[in-house]
Amino acid sequence: MIVVHHLENSRSQRVLWLLEELGLPYDVKRYNRDPETSLAPPELYAIHPLGKSPVISDGDISVAETGAIFEYLVDTYGKDDRLKPKRDTQAGRDYTYWLHYAEGSAMTNLLLKLVFSRLPERAPALMRPLVRRVSASAEESFIDPRIAEHANWWNTALAKTGYFVGDELTAADIMMSFPLEAAATRADLSTLPHIVAFLERIHARPAYQTALQKGGPYAYA
């Protein structure tokens, strides 16, 4: 049985959604975030040296890092090329690109945004006004323009079919769902109609909704 080491309210939600789309049975081992710091609990260090989620185990096999987990699950259990295009095609290369881009590039700017936006509240009271100015300047001059640039790229990529690759859902869309959902909470995406439509489309999928019930409340931290 596949076990997902799932941190509440986190990007490991995507693994549950992928498993639902693949129709595979699995168990969820839930971990709660520290209410003060939002960090993962120390128990996750017993699962992997970096103490992050997601990690899955499948019998004796253990896989960490969402993209690697996706490749393992789709390659091992995706019957009839479900959720992935054939490898040696342009669609196959696009699929690999989006699968890796989601964590490798898209999340970097969103993580910077999260860190800088939380800096002022964590600074000592006397330094807070200064830290607030430095954070705002970093966000305005560097982070927000990068997020806008990437969001425009997602919108353009989705314009043709509504999916990142081909004309039906692939695991690359599930990987990309987290940056899009996180960006929607940290930036105004309302002028990018293909992103808005993509989010509505995925939220309506029964597998997405079942995964949400199993994973618990989700606010794209």
Q: Tell me which residues touch ligand GSH (CB under 6 A).
A: 7, 10-11, 39-40, 52-54, 65-66, 103
Q: Cβ closer to ligand GSH: 91 or 97? A: 97
Which of 78, 45, 108 minimizes the C-alpha distance to 172?
A: 78
Report how far apart, in Å, the C-alpha atoms of 25 and of each of 1, 19, 21, 28 are.
Answer: 7, 8, 11, 10
What is the nearest approach in angstroms of ligand GSH to the Cβ of residue 181?
12
What string of DSSP letters covers 99-150? Answer: HHHIIIIIHHHHHHHHHHHHHHHHS-GGGHHHHHHHHHHHIIIIIHHHHHHH
Please tell me the distance from the alpha carbon of residue 6 to that of residue 117, in angstroms, as a whole number: 25
Q: Cβ closer to ligand GSH: 47 or 147? A: 47
What is the nearest approach in angstroms of ligand GSH to the Cβ of residue 161?
25
Q: Cβ closer to ligand GSH: 185 or 191? A: 185
What is the nearest approach in angstroms of ligand GSH to the Cβ of residue 197?
25
What is the nearest approach in angstroms of ligand GSH to the Cβ of residue 34?
8
Q: Cβ closer to ligand GSH: 122 or 133? A: 122
What is the nearest approach in angstroms of ligand GSH to the Cβ of residue 125?
26
Q: Cβ closer to ligand GSH: 7 or 99? A: 7
Q: Cβ closer to ligand GSH: 104 or 129? A: 104
**Helices 13-22 and 66-77: crossing angle, nearest 10°?**
10
What is the nearest approach in angstroms of ligand GSH to the Cβ of residue 19?
15
Report how far apart, in Å, the C-alpha atoms of 215 and of each of 9, 71, 96, 106, 129 are.
Answer: 8, 21, 26, 23, 38
Please tell me the distance from the alpha carbon of residue 96 to that of residue 88, in angstroms, as a whole number: 11
